[in-house]
Structures are given as structure tokens and as C-alpha cells.
Amino acid sequence: MTLLVTGGAGFIGSNFVLDWLASSDEPVVNLDALTYAGNLHNLDALQGDDRHIFVKGDITDRGLLDRLLQQHRPRAVLHFAAESHVDRSIHGPGAFIKTNVEGSFTLLEAVRGFWTERPADDKAAFRFLHVSTDEVYGSLQPTAPAFTETHPYEPNSPYSASKAASDHLVRAWHHTYGLPVLTTNCSNNYGPFHFPEKLIPLMIVNALAGKALPIYGDGQQVRDWLYVRDHCSAIRAVLAGGRTGETYNVGGWNEKANVEIVHTICALLNQLRPSDAGPYERLITHVKDRPGHDRRYAIDARKIESELGWRPAETFDTGIRKTVQWYLDNPQWVEQVQSGAYREWVTQQYTTA
């Protein structure tokens, strides 16, 4: 019995691989192209572990996918691989179409070919689990109900549009070909190994370096926040007991405005790593808002709770404290991911208003 994981060196994927192998002896074949956000150092704890088989490669490579499926004969494929940063999608949408749409299509076709040829019992037990985002649903008004699994798709960025397309492909391959799929749509993840271009790790890393803490616009954009290891436990639950063809929203029940998040991080750093230059709040800087910035996301995660008994274990207070402490304890990892190209991109993106 084996799992094939795509994107398993990225933020969520690597946390899932580590989480899975901490509690299971079932091997994982980990396929990752190691783009800027894929980092093998996330998986250093698995060096020498025969249960982890890493393969550098792209999900658009049909020949490679066919070989891996035939060689390892996984009982399930978990599809994390994606270009995932909204800001990057605005500047370069082509990569998002290639990976998230063309790559998902190529993977689905390879898996369909493999699954079709399996013995009846193996076919019945097989699962394709597609990891997606709440951003496919668009933006909510301040008092609107949270996103349910039946909320209309209204993506507003190249990133969310490409993820919506991949969701639709997964649904179509189930209804047309019978492929036993599962889809999860999660809210904003945070936690260990998060590449520091996203809000929470960027604020931590910049604060520790004495750099500006850039907040888009007025900072009142609201997101639901999900600790990444809670997300991993939700994926395990969906893989084990989810109904094929179904979608499960995964959220943390933590709606917070961006500016509130930044102040929380500053307060924790003031306590855990005080600066001689004064409180970290002094570094907060409001910058020009990004184009088409969605105002609010919120996840209604009652379906996964009622059907599968899953709820997040972490509150935002406990999760954010663990996250800040992880970055304080792992400065070498932070230094390794902050290449010159990354620093140039941050400078380009966060121009002062």
C-alpha cells in the first residue's frame, strides 16, 4: 500500500507527508518540481527513511506520471501541487494555467488510465484527493453567510480561476469516467515551513529583520485561518471516510482581519523576542492594495464535522503562538529560502502607497 503525493515539498504538502509518516508506515511517493516554493529542507527529518521516496518532476510530464503509477501502484493520489500565490498570479498568470489547469488535466488522465486497468477490488478502493482553496468561491460581503460546498464559483484572480478550473476538471472526471475523486476546499493555512511571501510568515521574518511590515490598503480584508496540521488531519479524515464525488470545506472557524493578524504577531514577538529598537508595531506600513483584492473569505466547515467528525484542534491563539515560535527556532530554514530572487520579488510587490 502506497500513497502518491504531488507537491509534497511545498508548504501544505510537506506538512502532510511529515504528518502522515509520523503516524503511518504506509510509504509515500513524493513528486515535486521544486519550484521556488518547493523546498527539500522541509523534509530533512525524513532523510534515510525508506518510507519516503522523493521524485523531482512535473505533473505536466505524462510519461513520468505513467511510470510512477505503474511502478508504485498507489492506492490513492493526493494532489497538492499548485502555483498558489495570488500576487504572483497577477504578475505572471501563465505559470498558473500551466500547472493548475494543464498539470491537473495531465495528472487526471494519467490516473484515469492507471485506475481503469486495476482489478475490481483495487478500483473500488482507489481514491484521487484534490486539495483546493476557498478562493474559488470569490468574495463575501461583511455580513454574508460563510462559504458552503454549494456556493457558486466566482473566482476573482488568475490563481483562483486556475484552481476553479482544476476543481471543475476533477468533478467532470468523476461524473464522466467514474474516477473516485474527493475534493477539499480549505481556508488560509499557516504554520511551519510556510514560504515567507504570504502574510503571516512575511510579517514574522520582516519584523525579526527590522524591516517594514507591509499591509495592503486598510488591512481590513478578512480571512478564515487554518493551522496547517489541522488541515493535514482533515485530509486524512476525508481520505479515510469521504464520499466519492463529494467536496468538503475545511476551515479553522477563525475569521480575522489582516491588520489584526499583524498586531497579534507583533504582540507575540514583543513577548518572545523583544527588540532593542522598540515594539514591532512601529514597523507597520500600509501599502497600495493589490488589484481585485477579495474583501472577505469565510468557510462553513459543518459538513466535514457532521459526516466525518473532524474539527480543528487549534484555536488561532494556540496556532499562531506555535507558528511564531517555530520561526524563532528555525532561522537557518528562513535564511535558506530567502534567495536574492525572492528578495527582489518582495521589493517589487510591496510598493509604498
Catalytic residue, chosen from 134, 167, 197, 314, is: 134
CATH number assigned to the domain covering 3-191+226-254+293-314: 3.40.50.720
pTM for the predicted model, two decimal places: 0.94
What angle (nearest 5°) sits at the alpha carbon of residue 196, between those of residues 209 and 7?
155
Q: Return the higher-pLDDT residue of 91 and 74.
A: 74
Q: Return the higher-pLDDT residue of 339 and 167.
A: 167
Domain spans, the chain: 3-191+226-254+293-314
Catalytic residue check, 281: no
85-143 pLDDT, tens per residue? 788 888 899 999 999 999 999 999 999 999 999 999 999 999 999 999 999 999 999 99
Residue 343 has pLDDT above 60, yes or no: no
pLDDT score, position 352: 44
Cβ atoms < 10 Å from Cβ of 347: 9
Catalytic residue, chosen from 32, 58, 135, 255, is: 135
Q: Return the higher-pLDDT residue of 344 and 160.
A: 160
305-317 pLDDT, tens per residue? 999 999 999 999 9
Catalytic residue check, 224: no
Catalytic residue, chosen from 32, 58, 83, 159, is: 159
pLDDT score, position 35: 85
- Average pLDDT value over all residues in the chain: 94
3-state secondary structure 240-307: HHCCCCCEEEECCCCEEEHHHHHHHHHHHHHHHCCCCCCCHHHHEEEECCCCCCCCECCECCHHHHHH
Catalytic residue check, 134: yes
pLDDT score, position 304: 98
Q: Which whole number is the average pLDDT over 250-259?
A: 97
31-48 pLDDT, tens per residue? 999 987 788 999 999 999
